């Protein structure tokens, strides 16, 4: 008999058809009667001061209902991150809703609400802005030089933060080393390319209460930031959870300009106001931070690390936003705590530039760090003539070790070695040739990279929200409604969480439905990010379902005149353990609980017991019990065209330890999506800007290249090593980020294996390979 009835099965997503047909659940499809449409005017200059702004002609245009310029909006400085308390000391509050100081090309300077989008757009042309243009600086290292244009009035040399981490004695470690390797590894700015644009509809009532519909990954975060920016009480803002959003990948973890501007426009006009980004606006709203990582690593001849030093320069863009936070996650989880090493040091620099803002993007700093660390390990192994798998196993953490950073936890489930060994087996690692193979102009190679340490949420990290909550309510037809603030951004969490509830309740997966939620009605929840939902929200859902089940069994106990402790519920039937004939359906129990106290029968009135009465409901609101680390090893085979430099990824084997797999098809989908984003990061994706003006030149999918189905490998094999995480819901950990952090180094290492060319700056374009081959 299977251990679980629901968990571990590839339950179909109930909303799949809706979603692929552009269903009404997407916030982009929300419309309200009398709704206005708003657009933003953006600065053409990357660095400027507004001398004056005159919107009177725009205000006079027929159909224009309201215009906002810097003078009309609060000048309160804020940080837009949803997942941290607004006043956190970790954050730098330097964004202003509409400011007279322009720090990047495309920064909004005004907003117009009109009866149609076209009128709003036309009105933008009528706003007269007089700019004083200032010298801009786009390169973070130039920005740090004395005499560089000053971007932030408070940051000397444009340096926002300089965090460090250190352990042991670095110099002693380098003295112990037999060899020392150095290298600098760079990454580019990339966008998440979610399908649904940033969009919101904000309505206001006569008391000034706001109701907000938006495509975001966190309804409570949006409520908190909106309240802060607008200086309004949180209780006066209701953010409605949409049934699903069209992707997020981290990009929807911030307040952006549209939500507070739409709110102000709605308050001003007393009408609902809708704002939607164009794709170009999405591209310039936030992006994965470019980082430059210098590594110096000491190793023994046998491959043991003796000392590791890293320095990271983060281009945080025009405002600090994620810079101070992303650099820490980057440092801890992709460098400092990734492998065992006694002597380590890391220096970070967060630099302002006149570039667009950085944002969250699946992996939050880890892809940049893994790129450096996992590429360099390959170089070290080449230098030492050592097998890269053996090297990693030698320096890896072990199951049962204390967590290398979050000292209150242990690595209770941790199967990196199995990931490495099983992946190696499937790709045929032992047949991998050390020298390039292939015929004609094509060469093939195999590469590997690991992601040793990651998170299932943020417990233990300072100032990051973590708790989750859920309401599970049973219905008289034997089904259950699940309400949580958790947003399904495409990962299938609606289904996975329903499976967890169903397993715990003892009913079929199809019998649990994800129901309505908004910030007024359900417990607080942290965002859908940080590989946390299955683990953290899953634990909360399991707890709420457990409470509902206890109540169900109590009522059933009354009905069967049995002790609740002797009852069990499986597949929708409550029965006495060991006597399956004494049973009731869940529907019968719930119906009884909600029936009148006195029931009229053929034999006259029958009094049931008070103890049975009341809806069967369970509520939870809790912090998750731990922060277990998923881990992964990825193997890729590539083919390189030595005449064009083109790289084709032929095959991917991706082995993960994510604890128990709740929904195998959904997990596999995550991995395949991660591989797609990882290949894009490795080979082609790159937000580029005009070097003179700072304007984005890759603002649509003609110029911004991401892999299509044609560029995807014919074969992606997902291996799940099912460890049993003791703190996880049914043994589960997180998945969604480790599956995209390492394709880039794995591909780079495979390219090196194929043609002997080492590229250290992303993306690995054909040109860089040809240059490496001496052909350009």
Partner 1 sequence: MALPKLREFITPADAQGVLNALRNYQDRALIVAGGTFLHGLESRGLLTHVEALIDIQRLGLDYLESGKDGLKLGATALFADLETMPEIRNDPWLGAIKDALVFPPVQVKNAATIGGSVAASCPFFDVPISFMCLDGVVKCRGSSGMRDIPMQEFFTGLFANAMENGEFMVELAIPRPRTRSASAFMKVETNANDLAILNAAVRIDVDESGTCSDARVIAGGGVGETPIRLSDAEQVLVRQRLTPEICARAGLSAKGSVNPISDHRASAAYRSEMTRVMVNRALRQALDRLRQ
- Please list, in sequence order, all residues whose beta carbon lies within 8 angstroms of the beta carbon of residue 639, skipping any fewer than 6 positions away: 438, 442, 443, 444, 647, 648, 650, 754
In the bound state with partner 1, the residue whose beta carbon lies nearer, of 195 and 697, is 697
In the bound state with partner 1, the residue whose beta carbon lies nearer, of 165 and 186, is 186
In the bound state with partner 1, the residue whose beta carbon lies nearer, of 32 and 646, is 646
In the bound state with partner 1, the residue whose beta carbon lies nearer, of 124 and 214, is 124
In the bound state with partner 1, the residue whose beta carbon lies nearer, of 146 and 692, is 692
In the bound state with partner 1, the residue whose beta carbon lies nearer, of 205 and 690, is 690
711 binds partner 1 (CB under 8 A): yes
**127 HSE (CA, 13 A, CB side):** 29
121 binds partner 1 (CB under 8 A): yes
Tokens (6 digits) for 132: 């004083």
The per-residue b/e assignment along 444-479, b for 16 or more CB within 10 angstroms, e otherwise, is bbbbbbbbbbbbbbbbbbeebbbbbbbbbbbbbebb
Give the integer Cα–Cα distance in Å for 567 and 579.
10
CB of 647 to partner 1, least distance (A): 11
Site for partner 1 in 532-551 (CB under 8 A): none
118 binds partner 1 (CB under 8 A): yes
CB of 707 to partner 1, least distance (A): 6
421 membership: H or E segment, kind and range: helix 416-427
**Residue 602: how many CB atoms within 10 A of its CB?**
5
Give the integer Cα–Cα distance in Å for 383 and 377.
10
The per-residue b/e assignment along 729-756, b for 16 or more CB within 10 angstroms, e otherwise, is bbbbbbbbbbbbbbbbbbbbbbbbbbbe
**Bridge partners, residue 52, by sequence:** 130
Size of residue set near partner 1 by CB under 8 A: 29
Q: Mask of contacts with partner 1, 227-256, x by CB under 8 A?
A: ------------------------------
- Please list, in sequence order, all residues whose beta carbon lies within 8 angstroms of the beta carbon of residue 531, skipping any fewer than 6 positions away: 454, 455, 456, 457, 630, 733, 734, 735, 736, 737, 738
CB of 774 to partner 1, least distance (A): 12
206 binds partner 1 (CB under 8 A): no
In the bound state with partner 1, the residue whose beta carbon lies nearer, of 582 and 706, is 706
Specify the stretch interacting with partner 1 by CB under 8 A; choose among 115-123, 139-147, 203-211, 256-264. 115-123
Tokens 């005149």, residue located: 561
CB of 145 to partner 1, least distance (A): 26
In the bound state with partner 1, the residue whose beta carbon lies nearer, of 125 and 477, is 125
Site for partner 1 in 356-385 (CB under 8 A): none
- Please list, in sequence order, all residues whose beta carbon lies within 8 angstroms of the beta carbon of residue 126, skipping any fewer than 6 positions away: 55, 57, 58, 61
557 binds partner 1 (CB under 8 A): no
Site for partner 1 in 123-182 (CB under 8 A): none
CA angle 669, 672, 675 (to 5 degrees): 150
In the bound state with partner 1, the residue whose beta carbon lies nearer, of 396 and 679, is 679
122 binds partner 1 (CB under 8 A): yes
Site for partner 1 in 671-710 (CB under 8 A): 684, 686, 688, 697-698, 700-703, 705-710
Q: Which of 631, 460, 457, 462 is nearest to 540 (CA)?
A: 457
Q: Mask of contacts with partner 1, 636-675, x by CB under 8 A?
A: -------xxxx-----------------------------
Q: In what order do the strands lie in the sheet with 128-133?
A: 101-102, 48-54, 128-133
775 binds partner 1 (CB under 8 A): yes
CB of 113 to partner 1, least distance (A): 16
Strands 598-601 and 579-585: unpaired
CB of 648 to partner 1, least distance (A): 12
57 binds partner 1 (CB under 8 A): no
CB of 149 to partner 1, least distance (A): 24
CB of 335 to partner 1, least distance (A): 31
Q: Let me know if 173 is exposed, middle or buried by CB neighbors in 10 A (0-12, 13-18, 19+).
A: buried
In the bound state with partner 1, the residue whose beta carbon lies nearer, of 124 and 560, is 124
Sole binder of partner 1 in the list 128, 182, 477, 767 (CB under 8 A): 767
770 binds partner 1 (CB under 8 A): yes
Tokens (6 digits) for 723: 């460890």
CB 281 within 8 A of CB 356: no
CB of 691 to partner 1, least distance (A): 10
Tokens (6 digits) for 161: 């933060």
**Bridge partners, residue 36, by sequence:** 273
CB of 427 to partner 1, least distance (A): 25
Rg (CA), the chain: 28
CB of 692 to partner 1, least distance (A): 13
In the bound state with partner 1, the residue whose beta carbon lies nearer, of 154 and 441, is 441
CB of 690 to partner 1, least distance (A): 9
Q: Which of 7, 13, 150 is nearest to 490 (CA)?
A: 13
CB 206 within 8 A of CB 266: no
Specify the stretch interacting with partner 1 by CB under 8 A; choose among 254-262, 265-273, 311-319, 765-773. 765-773
Site for partner 1 in 429-458 (CB under 8 A): none
CB of 441 to partner 1, least distance (A): 9
In the bound state with partner 1, the residue whose beta carbon lies nearer, of 146 and 440, is 440
Q: Say whether the peptide bond before residue 83 is cis (omega within 30 degrees of 0).
A: no
In the bound state with partner 1, the residue whose beta carbon lies nearer, of 630 and 707, is 707
Cα separations (Å) of 426 from 58, 116, 665, 695?
A: 64, 57, 20, 46
Site for partner 1 in 270-309 (CB under 8 A): 280
In the bound state with partner 1, the residue whose beta carbon lies nearer, of 123 and 240, is 123
Which residues in this chain contact partner 1 in the complex, by CB under 8 A?
Answer: 118, 121-122, 280, 643-646, 684, 686, 688, 697-698, 700-703, 705-711, 766-767, 770, 775-776
């Amino acid at each position: 008999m299977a251990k679980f009835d629901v968990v571990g099965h590839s339950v179909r997503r109930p909303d799949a058809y809706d979603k692929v047909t552009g269903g009404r659940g997407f916030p982009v499809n929300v419309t309200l009667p009398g709704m206005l449409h708003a657009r933003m005017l953006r600065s053409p200059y990357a660095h400027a001061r507004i001398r004056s702004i005159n919107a009177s002609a725009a205000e006079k245009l027929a159909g224009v209902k309201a215009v906002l310029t810097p003078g009309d909006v609060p000048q309160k400085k804020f940080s837009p991150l949803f997942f941290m308390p607004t006043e956190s000391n970790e954050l730098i509050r330097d964004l202003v809703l509409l400011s007279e100081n322009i720090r990047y090309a495309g920064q909004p300077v005004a907003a117009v609400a009109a009866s149609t989008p076209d009128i709003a757009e036309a009105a933008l042309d009528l706003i007269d802005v007089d700019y004083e243009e200032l010298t801009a600086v786009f390169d973070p290292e130039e920005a740090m030089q004395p005499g560089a244009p000053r971007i932030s009035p408070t940051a000397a040399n444009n340096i926002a933060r300089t965090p460090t981490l250190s352990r042991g004695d670095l110099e002693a470690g380098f003295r112990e080393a037999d060899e020392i390797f150095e290298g600098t590894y760079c990454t580019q700015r990339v966008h998440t390319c979610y399908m649904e644009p940033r969009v919101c509809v904000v309505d206001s009532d006569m008391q000034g209460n706001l109701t907000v519909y938006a495509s975001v990954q966190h309804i409570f975060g949006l409520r908190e930031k909106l309240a802060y920016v607008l200086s309004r009480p949180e209780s006066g803002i209701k953010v409605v959870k949409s049934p699903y959003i069209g992707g997020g990948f981290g990009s929807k973890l911030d307040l952006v300009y549209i939500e507070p501007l739409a709110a102000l426009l709605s308050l001003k006009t007393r009408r609902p106001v809708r704002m939607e980004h164009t794709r170009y606006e999405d591209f310039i709203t936030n992006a994965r931070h470019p980082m430059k990582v210098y590594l110096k690593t000491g190793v023994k001849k046998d491959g043991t690390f003796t000392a590791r030093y890293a320095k990271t320069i983060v281009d945080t863009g025009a405002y600090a936003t994620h810079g101070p936070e992303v650099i820490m996650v980057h440092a801890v989880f992709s460098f400092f705590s990734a492998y065992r090493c006694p002597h380590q040091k890391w220096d970070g620099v967060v630099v302002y530039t006149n570039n667009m803002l950085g944002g969250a993007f699946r992996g939050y700093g880890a892809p940049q760090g893994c790129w450096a660390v996992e590429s360099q390990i390959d170089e070290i192994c080449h230098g030492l003539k050592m097998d890269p798998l053996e090297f990693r196993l030698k320096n890896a953490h072990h199951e049962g070790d204390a967590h290398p950073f979050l000292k209150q936890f242990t690595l209770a489930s941790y199967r990196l070695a199995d990931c490495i060994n099983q992946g190696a087996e499937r790709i045929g690692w032992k047949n991998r040739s050390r020298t390039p193979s292939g015929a004609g102009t094509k060469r093939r190679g195999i590469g590997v990279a690991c992601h040793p340490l990651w998170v299932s949420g943020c417990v233990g990290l300072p100032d990051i929200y973590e708790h989750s909550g859920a309401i599970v309510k049973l219905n008289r037809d034997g089904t259950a409604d699940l309400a949580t603030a958790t947003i399904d951004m495409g990962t299938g969490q609606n289904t996975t969480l329903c499976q967890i509830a169903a397993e715990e309740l003892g009913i079929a997966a199809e019998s649990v439905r994800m129901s309505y939620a908004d910030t007024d009605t359900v417990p607080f929840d942290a965002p859908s990010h940080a590989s946390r939902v299955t683990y953290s929200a899953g634990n909360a859902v399991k707890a709420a379902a457990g409470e509902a089940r206890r109540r169900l069994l109590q009522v059933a106990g009354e009905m069967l005149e049995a002790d609740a402790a002797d009852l069990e519920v499986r597949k929708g039937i409550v029965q006495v353990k060991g006597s399956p004939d004494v049973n009731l359906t869940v529907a019968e129990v719930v119906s009884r609980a909600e029936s009148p106290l006195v029931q009229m029968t053929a034999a006259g009135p029958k009094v049931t017991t008070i103890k049975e009465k009341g809806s069967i409901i369970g509520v939870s609101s809790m912090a998750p019990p731990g922060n277990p680390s998923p881990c992964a090893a990825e193997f890729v085979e590539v083919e390189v065209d030595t005449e064009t430099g083109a790289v084709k990824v032929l095959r991917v084997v991706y082995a993960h330890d994510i604890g128990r797999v709740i929904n195998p098809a959904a997990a596999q989908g995550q991995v395949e999506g991660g591989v797609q984003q990882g290949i894009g990061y490795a080979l082609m994706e790159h937000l580029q800007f005009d070097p003179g003006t700072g304007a984005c030149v890759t603002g649509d999918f003609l110029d911004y290249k991401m892999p299509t189905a044609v560029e995807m490998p014919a074969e992606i094999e997902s291996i799940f090593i099912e460890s049993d995480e003791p703190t996880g819901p049914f043994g589960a950990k997180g998945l969604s980020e480790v599956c995209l952090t390492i394709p880039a180094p794995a591909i780079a290492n495979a390219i090196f294996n194929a043609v002997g060319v080492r590229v250290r700056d992303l993306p690995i374009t054909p040109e860089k390979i040809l240059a490496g081959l001496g052909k350009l």
